A = this chain, B = another copy of it.
Amino acid sequence: MHALVYHGPGQKAWEEVPTPRLLCDSDAIVRVEATTICGSDLHILKGDVPEVTDGRILGHEAVGTVVEIGSSVKSVQVGDRVLVSCITACGACRYCRQGRYGQCLGGGGWILGHLIDGTQAEYVRVPFADTSTYPIPAGVADEDILMMSDILPTGYEVGVLNGRVQPGDVVAIVGAGPIGLSAIMGAQLFSPSHIVAIDLADSRLEAAKQFGADVTVNNGREDARAIIKELTGGLGADVAIEAVGVPATFELAATLIRPGGHVANIGVHGQPATLHLEQLWSRDVTITTGLVDTYSTPTLLRLIGRQLDVGRFVTHHFAMNDFLAAYDTFARAADTGALKVVVSP
Q: Which residues of B contact A96 (CB under 8 A)?
A: 91
CB distance from A76 to the nearest CB of B (A): 10
Which residues from 241 to 257 on chain A have a C-beta closer than 8 Å to any C-beta of chain B? 245, 247, 250
Known: A25-B72, A191-B303, A272-B277. A284 touches B167 (CB 8 A): no
Say whether A46 faces chain B, with CB atoms less than 8 Å apart: no
**Least CB distance, A96 to chain B, in whole angstroms:** 8
Contact residues in B for A267 (Cβ distance below 8 Å): 277, 281
Given A72-B25, A250-B277, A299-B168: A286 and B288 within 8 A (CB)?
A: yes
One of A58-66, A98-106, A222-230, A334-342 at the interface: A98-106
Chief secondary structure at chain A's binding surface: loop
- Among the stretches A116-124, A140-148, A290-298, A309-317, the one at the interface with B is A290-298
Chain B residue nearest in CB terms to A100: B260
Smallest CB–CB gap between A251 and chain B, Å? 9
Cα A270 to Cα B306 in complex, Å, equals 40
Which residue of chain B has its CB nearest to the CB of A106? B74
Whether A259 is near chain B, meaning CB under 8 Å from some CB there, is yes
User: Would you call A78 an interface residue if the criterion is a C-beta within 8 Å of the partner chain's C-beta atoms?
Assistant: no
A90 close to B (CB within 8 Å)? yes
Are B91 and A74 touching (Cβ within 8 A)?
no
Interface centre among A103, A166, A283, A289 (most CB of B within 10 A): A289
State whether the Cβ of A77 lies closer than 8 Å to any Cβ in chain B: no
Residues of B within 8 A of A271 (CB): 277-278
- In whole angstroms, how far apart are the Cα atoms of A95 and B278 in the complex? 22
Cross-chain contact A268 with B245 (CB below 8 angstroms):
no
Which residues from B are CB-within-8-Å of A24? 72
Q: In the complex the two chains form, what is the Cα distance from A272 to B272 in whole Å? A: 13
Q: Is A91 within 8 A of B131, CB to CB?
A: yes
Q: Does A324 contact B (CB under 8 A)?
A: no
A268 — which chain B residues lie within 8 A by C-beta? 281-282
| The 4 A-B residue pairs with the shortest CB-CB distance in the complex, in nearest-first order | A269-B277, A92-B130, A168-B302, A168-B299
Can you name 23 A-B residue pairings with CB atoms under 8 Å? A72-B72, A74-B90, A97-B131, A97-B298, A100-B284, A102-B282, A103-B259, A103-B283, A167-B307, A168-B299, A188-B191, A190-B190, A245-B281, A271-B277, A272-B278, A274-B274, A280-B289, A284-B288, A284-B291, A285-B289, A286-B288, A287-B287, A287-B288
Q: Which residues of A contact B (CB under 8 A)?
A: 24-26, 71-72, 74-75, 90-100, 102-103, 106, 130-131, 166-168, 188-191, 193, 245, 247, 250, 259-260, 265, 267-278, 280-291, 295, 298-300, 302-303, 306-307
